[in-house]
A and B are shown apart, each in its own frame.
Chain A
Amino acid sequence: MSAATKAPAAPGRADLKVVILVPAALLALAVLPFVLPTYQVSVATQILIFAVLAMSIDVLAGYAGRTSLCHGAIFGVSTYVVLYGSTVAGLPVLASMVVGVLAATVLAAVFGVLAVRTSGVYFLLLTLALGLIVWGVCLRWTAVTGGENGLRGQLQVGAFAQPRALYLAVLAGAAVMSFGMWRFVHSPFGLTLRGIKDSESRMRSLGYNVPLHLVIAFTVSGFFAGMAGAMYAVFNNFVSPSTVQLSQSVAGLLMAIVGGIGTLFGSVVGAFLIIALEQAVSLYTERWLMVLGAMFVLIMIFAPEGVVGKARALLARSAQRRGRQ
């Protein structure tokens, strides 16, 4: 977790590289759908959406020290509202997406108020319980949520019926949100969160309103999870209780952990690794979950700080060695 305690990079020196590297990365990702077959484009779209979910979890887990097990539910609520809005209430897709994100944000704010007074394992359990409530409501409130069968719609209207166009739109959305989250955790507010993570009592004695900071952080992170959920609604055209169930929250958290907690963009790597591996392995065996499980165990043993965290540590070490020579 050393990455989290480091000060953000000095803006002056980094700016030049950002100017070159960020557009280069975005360009590479933007060209992707033109070289991949259709199915892989939809896999790539899914990776981007789940990367945003994983990043939203990392904002809390990596920077405020609060590991949430209800972000899958917040994500799914947005998906539900978007599908309900556009298929049952007859709203335009974009409007229902706005309502969906709004609903997720409000829900996150409520959950935040309930959860932030706890920390550690109690926070984990409380958010788990809150997520299960959402799942229970989605399963039982048949009249609105369609119960077990869920809601279906046709949200890929106009140009977005093309997988490529949909991918590019999701890429644009994910890029903006990644920047938003990056900016958020590197802002003075984000620094306060890191302070809270390191020592809550010290921050309190310094005069910071710790619960308020955490509620805001929870709400902001829920907002991003909701954005991911709204994009998922358009991507999937379908939602059922399996989208809000615990395994969804766990999947998001695992992606963040595999990539590296507190690295933010590690979540992108984590989402890619897990989804791509799932796709590749399930081609050969129906026991692909065991392979994934083995991967998690290996990562926890050899790179507990995550793939990106480990890579960073290795790079830093080699730079140090070079510096000494």
Chain B
Amino acid sequence: MMDRRQFLKTTAGATAATAIGAPAIVQAQGSGPIRIGLLAPLTGVVASGGREMVDGFTMFWEQQGGTLAGRKVEIVTEDDASNPDTALQKARRLVEQANVHFLCGDLLANTGLAVANYVKGNGVPYFIPIIAADDLTQRARIPNVIRIAGYSASQTTHPLGDWAWKQGFKKLATIGQDYTFGHEQCAGLARVFSENGGKVVQQLWHPLNTADFSPYLGQLAGAGVDAVFTMQTGADGTRFIQQWANFGLKGRIPLMGSMNCTDQSVIRTMGAEPEGIITPAHFAEGSDNPATQKFVKDYEAKFSKTPSLYGFSMYSGAMWIARALEKVRGEAENRAAFLDAVRTTELTDSPLGTAVRLDAYGNPIYDIMIRKVVKRGDGKFWNVPTDTYPGVSQFWKYDPETYMKQPPYSRTYQAIKT
């Protein structure tokens, strides 16, 4: 028994040596292509968003001709499987085996946080156009992790709180997905609204992938509020909006939402149910800005669908990277200079049509639009801006240092002023 067992163990070791000893790609120094590691969830719960991320990102590089400052641009795409452990493993593979110069991507906050923690140790630049976790550019910021063309979770809901108060709403209820992204988005609204004098009378949290919203809708209908705010992403958004309409609440109680709730990735498959929902965002595909309309037309021509936040953010992120790389003549190897160029780049020709720059903490400052879902000429629905809050940072009107001394938004800390 013993000898065989040992024999097998030895063979296993030897096989291991040969099988996983596959040759790694040889690293080029200063010449050869610029290698970009793109992480996106191509399988798992958010796979459709991940696909649009890849679409938006590669669309820019194709328009760019696949080269930059005389160097070829090579994109190595890895699937993070919507799972943080996989994301971490794939990031390792991109950096250590494929020798990419920097990383970009990931969709779910936990996958982004896992990768950010990895690059914290080795200094590889990591860009996160989709990851919205507040603290990545606040209390737990990492110098080489920059949210180019992205937004922090509460950045867009702060102004919505102000807007809601100015509409004359006195009492609000919120409902959101029970995880950090949801807590942060609801808190942004609840804080500003309550500080203005409004009352947040009820906050409901439901698990991710809730199939039946009827128990929640019943409570919201009976809460006696002037308006409801719903924070949703993905299929939960579709179901919430559908059931809101089915229960006859549409048109009876004004409905506001987070930007993902009426994102194209949600509403493009729906009928008239989302019509009239108000959401805050830095991007509105229905904006009449010529730069936005050109991007929307190009994207629709290429992928035959209206761009979602995922496609737009990754496209702009790629553009930001390209502008910064041009400044350092394509030397992605020189991390310090490259990161510095990224931080100081002001993006003027993005699909937003307005200039965007980063604050001192690595998060962009945007004109936040209050958008409304309306029907466009061809019968499809999209988000059209009705109001704008110019120059909104992740800290709203608060002093950054004081802001960061307060605890991060969570289910238990919604920063509601009573």
Asked if A149 is at the interface of the complex by the 8 Å CB criterion, the answer is yes
CB contact between B9 and one of A35, A43, A140, A265 (< 8 Å): that residue = A265
Docked pose: A116 CA to B180 CA in angstroms: 38
Question: Does B21 contact A28, Cβ atoms closer than 8 Å?
Answer: no
Residues of the A chain whose Cβ atoms lie less than 8 Å from the Cβ of B179: 147-149
Taking the closest CB of chain A, its distance from the CB of B169, in whole angstroms, is 29
Asked if B83 is at the interface of the complex by the 8 Å CB criterion, the answer is yes
Residues of the B chain whose Cβ atoms lie less than 8 Å from the Cβ of A39: 24, 92-93, 96-97
Residues of the B chain whose Cβ atoms lie less than 8 Å from the Cβ of A152: 113-114, 117
Residues of the A chain whose Cβ atoms lie less than 8 Å from the Cβ of B411: 142
Stretch in A14-22, A92-100, A190-198 with 4+ CB within 8 Å of B: A14-22
User: Taking CB as reference atom, which chain A residue is nearest B42?
Assistant: A286
Residues of the A chain whose Cβ atoms lie less than 8 Å from the Cβ of B5: 263-265, 308
User: Taking CB as reference atom, which chain B residue is nearest A264?
Assistant: B5
Q: How large is the interface on B (under 10, 10 to 19, 20 to 34, 35 or more residues)?
A: 35 or more
Residues of the A chain whose Cβ atoms lie less than 8 Å from the Cβ of B378: none
Residues of the B chain whose Cβ atoms lie less than 8 Å from the Cβ of A40: 20-22, 24, 97
- Residues 123-154 (chain A) with a chain B CB within 8 angstroms: 140, 142-143, 147-150, 152-154
Interface size on A, residues (CB 8 A): 59
Asked if B85 is at the interface of the complex by the 8 Å CB criterion, the answer is yes
- Residues 4-60 (chain B) with a chain A CB within 8 angstroms: 4-10, 12-17, 19-24, 42-43
Asked if A221 is at the interface of the complex by the 8 Å CB criterion, the answer is no
CB contact between B6 and one of A17, A35, A263 (< 8 Å): that residue = A17
- Residues 87-110 (chain B) with a chain A CB within 8 angstroms: 88-89, 92-93, 96-97, 109-110
- Residues 117-159 (chain B) with a chain A CB within 8 angstroms: 117-118, 120-121, 133
Known: A43-B20, A272-B16. A150 touches B113 (CB 8 A): yes
Interface of B is mostly: helix
Question: Does A42 contact B92, Cβ atoms closer than 8 Å?
Answer: yes
Docked pose: A143 CA to B202 CA in angstroms: 21
Residues of the A chain whose Cβ atoms lie less than 8 Å from the Cβ of B22: 40, 280
Asked if A56 is at the interface of the complex by the 8 Å CB criterion, the answer is no
Taking the closest CB of chain B, its distance from the CB of A148, in whole angstroms, is 4
Mask for B178-194, Cβ within 8 A of A = 1, else 0?
A: 11100000000000000
Taking the closest CB of chain B, its distance from the CB of A271, in whole angstroms, is 10
CB contact between A150 and one of B2, B93, B110 (< 8 Å): that residue = B110
Asked if A213 is at the interface of the complex by the 8 Å CB criterion, the answer is no
User: Taking CB as reference atom, which chain B residue is nearest A271?
Assistant: B12
Asked if B412 is at the interface of the complex by the 8 Å CB criterion, the answer is yes
Docked pose: A38 CA to B8 CA in angstroms: 26
Question: Does B20 contact A36, Cβ atoms closer than 8 Å?
Answer: yes
Stretch in A58-66, A201-209, A235-243 with 4+ CB within 8 Å of B: A235-243
Question: Does B10 contact A21, Cβ atoms closer than 8 Å?
Answer: yes
Docked pose: A282 CA to B80 CA in angstroms: 11
User: Taking CB as reference atom, which chain B residue is nearest A29?
Assistant: B13
User: Taking CB as reference atom, which chain B residue is nearest A248?
Assistant: B85
Known: A37-B24, A237-B121. A265 touches B13 (CB 8 A): no
Question: Does A315 contact B4, Cβ atoms closer than 8 Å?
Answer: yes
A residues lining the B interface (CB < 8 Å): 6, 8-9, 14, 17-18, 21-22, 24-25, 28-29, 32, 35-40, 42-44, 46-47, 140, 142-143, 147-150, 152-154, 156, 161, 236-238, 240, 242-243, 263-266, 268-269, 272, 276, 279-280, 282, 286, 289, 308, 311-312, 315
Complex A-B, nearest 3 residue pairs according to Cβ-Cβ distance, in ascending order? A21-B6, A14-B2, A39-B96
| Selected A-B contacts with CB under 8 Å, 7 pairs | A9-B2, A18-B2, A142-B412, A149-B133, A149-B180, A238-B114, A240-B110
A sample of 10 more A-B contacts (CB under 8 A), given A21-B6, A280-B22, is A22-B6, A25-B13, A143-B412, A149-B110, A152-B113, A237-B117, A242-B83, A308-B5, A311-B8, A312-B4
